[in-house]
Amino acid sequence: MHVGVVIVAAGRGDRMGTPVPKQLLTIDGRSLLQHSVAAFDAHPEVAEIVVVLPADRVGDGAVLAGPTGKACAFVAGGARRQDSVRAGAGALSSAVDAVLIHDAARPFADRALIDRVLDGVRQTGASVPAVRSRDTVKRLDPATHLITSTLPRDEIWLAQTPQGFTPTVLAAAFAHADTGVEATDEAMLAELAGHPVRIVLGDERNVKMTTPEDLRQARAATPPRVGTGYDLHRLVDGRPLVLGGVVVDPARGPHGHSDGDVACHALVDAMLGAIGAGDIGRHFSNTDPRWKDAPGLDLLGRAAAIVREQGYAVSSCDVTVILERPKLAPHVDAIRAGIAAVLGVGVDRVSLKGKTNEGVDAVGRGEAVAAHAVAVLVTISGEAGR
């Protein structure tokens, strides 16, 4: 099949209560829209994608949707959902023989779900993924809020997207919409136009992000990212030894372009590594005069900003400094406090340990200082690409 996909992302998401449309909020470093686009872009039968956006966002469509391997176009949405879907479908090519319509606010659609919907389109020309209701459903009088009937639970299915149609069925559904019908999904229009719509098994994970609690639960279920870092500097006379912004030895410190704060540098590497953003040298080159004698805490703060731009924040970190002398014990609390303040976390989220190398190699002979770090990152709210 030559499958065209319409991803509806033109809403404002008022119930989410955020300053940006909900489809641009992030889970695991990517916006809801980017998750949705990526799922269809990866499907072998999808040939083209149209993303329907608010009119003032269409020009930024390529950035908001992220890179794609399939042809991807961007159009402005309409006043109603059905108007937005029609605008998106109108931008698909005439080669399309199946149309999938998906809400960008459902970021967890996967290949198996898409396959089931396409199978349903092949069978009846229209299909909708749905899951069984787990609850007893009551019908009520909206004026009195009194129950008027109880619906048989085995007859109640909760519709999801993507919903699939042949172009002929979708055109008939749009024609029925011209009679003034207000529909909450395209399946309803197809039903009213007299076409059979097949239910295929949906996916409990394919939840729609509607409220802040939906987003919080989705983020809580997202595994954290972990990165490791390492740094080493040769020690020389006449330079202070600074760790986490604290002067540990004023007379003998690391040789380097910046201040040589190995605790901060190793942690920067760990944070950048967790988001796949390279290492400290890529962002703060030792050939760039801007970073000459730059404090480690300054570079740490800049790295935290890079991490935040990708939709993450440091949840906790663990740093091991390997130094023969002086002893770190008197300085540990101050170093932890300095790092915690820059990262915006509690001191209890920052661990710092001092070790010696038992006289082995350059560090053990007191000729160098080294540090290992681990950083754990979690997703935060934010607008993709900001």
Q: Are 1 and 97 in contact (CB under 8 A)?
A: yes
Taking 50 as the threshold, does the pLDDT of residue 385 lie above it? Answer: no
pTM of the model: 0.71
Residue 378 pLDDT: 87
Q: Residue 141 has which token pair?
A: 């009088």
Residue 105 pLDDT: 95
Q: Residue 303 has which token pair?
A: 């790295």
Q: Which fold has domain 225-379?
A: 60s Ribosomal Protein L30; Chain: A; (3.30.1330)
Q: Are 111 and 43 in contact (CB under 8 A)?
A: yes
Q: Are 99 and 168 in contact (CB under 8 A)?
A: no
Residue 182 pLDDT: 81
Q: Are 135 and 40 in contact (CB under 8 A)?
A: no
Confidence of residue 335 (pLDDT cuts 50, 70, 90): very high
**CA separation (Å) from 291 to 181, 284, 299?**
63, 7, 9
Confidence of residue 13 (pLDDT cuts 50, 70, 90): low
Taking 60 as the threshold, does the pLDDT of residue 71 lie above it? Answer: yes
Residue 382 pLDDT: 42
Confidence of residue 384 (pLDDT cuts 50, 70, 90): very low
Q: Which fold has domain 3-220?
A: Spore Coat Polysaccharide Biosynthesis Protein SpsA; Chain A (3.90.550)
Least confident of 9-18, 121-130, 294-303: 9-18
Residue 27 pLDDT: 86
Taking 50 as the threshold, does the pLDDT of residue 375 lie above it? Answer: yes
Averaged pLDDT, 127-155: 94
Least confident of 141-145, 180-184, 369-373: 180-184
For the chain, how are helix, strand and coil distributed in percent, rounded to 5? 35, 30, 35
Residue intervals in the chain for CATH 3.30.1330.50:
225-379
Residue 17 pLDDT: 72
Residue intervals in the chain for CATH 3.90.550.10:
3-220
* Selected residue with higher pLDDT from 179 and 272: 272
- The mean pLDDT of the chain is 93
Taking 70 as the threshold, does the pLDDT of residue 383 lie above it? Answer: no
Counting residues of the chain whose pLDDT is more than 70, the rounded percentage is 98
Q: Are 125 and 206 in contact (CB under 8 A)?
A: no
